[in-house]
A and B are shown apart, each in its own frame.
Chain A
Amino acid sequence: MITTQLYQDYLSLLLKGDRIACSRIVQNFVDQGIEIKTLYTDLFQKSLYAVGELWEFNKISVAKEHLVTAITEGLLNLIYPRLFEKELKKKNKKVVISCAANEFHQIGGKMAADVFELNGWDSHFLGANTPIQHMLEYIQDVKPDLVGLSVSVYFNLPSLKKGLDAIRADFRNLDILIGGQAFTRGGKDILKQYSGAHYVSSLDELNTTIAG
């Protein structure tokens, strides 16, 4: 259970850039047997949204926002092996997750990839700023059941559109899930042009979508 107080402590340490103290908090949660998904949604996602908002309103510098992201990515790595500790029922399904070209914020996509793993999928995360051609070749190679595209910055929506066009041209029937903070200011309309492309607004919604 992540109490408001613990969350606030974590957020404040995160903003101070205290990586070790943040790791300690996360390690304590893990030792107490917290569900990984809860950690993702109620600690990582929540704090990253809060930091994103602070950055948007010029309350923190871009450097601080990057520091927070780097610390959170390190924490994700800390608990990543635990994703595989439980005997998960394998679904024999593959997903390729990628950030749009020019999108350097990869942490949302990475967390989405982990939610897929937690649901028994084999997820392949391509990382930030993946060139479209590279993504297409990877999809061709792995032949996934689903592709996930993440875009965090509104200005990268045209890049996302290019990516969607390219996927549809080469893989007509491949299902696509799209997510990311870029859509908080709108832009979902562009997705209507693509059949089989769906928007998911949060990790919780993603979890429900793939678990169902």
Chain B
Amino acid sequence: MKTDMAKKLGQATWEYVNEQSQILFFVLASDGRILETNRFAESMTGCRPGQKKFQDLVLDFHDSFSLDHLTKEPAIEHLLNIKMGSRLPQSFYFRFMTMAPFILAFGRLDAEELESMRKEMLNMNQELNNMTRTLQKKNTQLRQLNQEKNQFLGMAAHDLRKPIGLILTYSEFLMEEISVSMNTEQRDFLTTIQNSSLFMKKLVDDFLDVAAIEAGVFDLDLEPVDVISLLEKSLKPNRLQAAKKGIELQIIAPNACPQVPLDASKIEQALTNLVSNAIEHSEPGSTVTITLIYDSEYLVFEVRDQGSGIIPEDMDKLFKPFKKTKAEKTSGEKSTGLGLVIARKIIMAHRGEIQVHSQPGLGTTIRFTLPLKD
């Protein structure tokens, strides 16, 4: 076929059309069957001779827009949308010539349209580049602001610690020394001062922790630790809290466990925070279970409560500072909203992972895993 066509068109013309041209070229039978294409047409449309009719390549080709109509006026160009295999369709200006028994179809790209598209793409690329830079600069500024915020938070918390400590000490002193000579109302006032001071102290301590963590001043002091003793020690403050609410603390742990490198005080803090949170969301008479699982690669701590659980919409809020979930504390306990945030940061610093599973109405399990190998 190519040889016949070469004869008819002339060898040089055919070579140009076949090899060089940026023109779609089709040799069609009178019914539109594609008998021959040039390389450009084949590569652009993915169409091989003998497979399809020309009409199949054109988007929205309908009967009234027939090949007869297209070939009637060879001088007229027809704008046709051509299917481009897996790419987006593209518009070409087509001319049709009859060279009995064949129809020759030449399609050219709209150079003006291409150029304007290219310019538009360039402009969009420039705008995208500029926006990326603006975003990068804003991010840097935000990071700097965050650092300054942490420094301020750290300084403010540090300066507040001393007066709060004094209020706490003197209120404890008053409670111990002269509460017998007070009436009930006065004792209530003093208890409120004491509880509020304790809460403020906890808040300030948490602020300092968060500020230190976010400022990157959070060095782990890793030393071999007896995990069973660590577990017992960290649960001490929780036992008192649980007893006050009539909640049972159940511990499931192996009898012995080899020493593992951890920052004991920080893991203790994380564990205390998680258990404290579980107690706060548990009803009197229920059980909070703390499970320790050890294997040669991981250390797993699991804290399970039988509280009201967390609704799915609140899951994202759990580890965000000051975000309160809808789950209510059963005895109206106050919290800083930072306990879980700090626990998570400590676990992450140990290259660990924390996971939460909760079923509303049935309770919540928070499990954290610490890797023991690099």
Contacts and interface: CB of A to CB of B under 8 A. Distances in A.
B126 A128 contact: yes
Interface in A46-80: 63, 66, 70, 73-74, 76-77, 80
A76 B125 CA distance: 13
Interface string B99-133: 00000000000000000001000110111011011
B169 interface: no
B311 to A, nearest CB: 39
B126 A106 contact: yes
A104 interface: yes
B126 A66 contact: no
A127 interface: yes
A84 interface: yes
B58 to A, nearest CB: 29
B140 to A, nearest CB: 4
Contacts of A73: 125-126, 129
Interface string A76-111: 110011001000000000000000000010100010
Nearest to B125: A70
A74 B126 CA distance: 9
A127 B118 contact: no
A125 B122 contact: no
Nearest to A127: B130
B136 interface: yes
Contacts of A76: 129, 133
B130 A104 contact: no
A76 B129 CA distance: 9
B72 interface: no
Contacts of B123: 104, 128
B118 A81 contact: no
B118 A84 contact: no
A84 to B, nearest CB: 4
A66 B122 contact: yes
Interface residues of A, number: 16
B137 interface: yes
B122 A104 contact: yes
A119 B243 CA distance: 63
Interface of A is mostly: helix
Contact of A81 (B126, B129, B130, B140): B140
Contacts of B118: 63, 66
A74 B130 CA distance: 10
A106 B123 CA distance: 10
Interface string A120-161: 000001011000000000000000000000000000000000
Given A63-B118, A66-B122, A104-B122, A84 B127 contact: no
Nearest to A126: B130
A81 B125 contact: no
A74 B129 contact: yes
A121 to B, nearest CB: 12
B244 to A, nearest CB: 51
A81 B136 contact: yes
A66 B119 CA distance: 9
Contact of B132 (A66, A77, A106, A127): A77
A66 B133 CA distance: 20
Contacts of B127: 127
Contacts of A127: 126-127, 130
Nearest to B131: A127
Contacts of B132: 77
Contacts of B125: 70, 73
Contacts of B140: 81, 84
B252 to A, nearest CB: 48
B56 to A, nearest CB: 32
Given A81-B140, A84-B140, A104-B123, A125 B133 contact: yes
A146 to B, nearest CB: 18
Contacts of B137: 80, 84
A84 B130 CA distance: 16
Contacts of A110: 130, 133
Contacts of B126: 73, 104, 106, 127-128
Nearest to B133: A80
B109 to A, nearest CB: 14
A125 B137 CA distance: 11
A110 B131 CA distance: 12
Interface of A: 63, 66, 70, 73-74, 76-77, 80-81, 84, 104, 106, 110, 125, 127-128
7 contacts: A66-B122, A70-B125, A76-B129, A81-B139, A104-B126, A127-B127, A128-B126
8 A-B pairs with least C-beta separation: A84-B140, A73-B129, A127-B130, A81-B136, A77-B132, A80-B133, A80-B136, A70-B125
Interface of B: 118, 122-123, 125-127, 129-130, 132-133, 136-137, 139-140
Given A70-B125, A80-B133, A128-B126, 18 more contacts: A63-B118, A66-B122, A70-B122, A73-B125, A73-B126, A74-B129, A77-B129, A77-B132, A80-B136, A81-B136, A81-B139, A81-B140, A84-B137, A104-B126, A106-B130, A110-B130, A125-B130, A125-B133
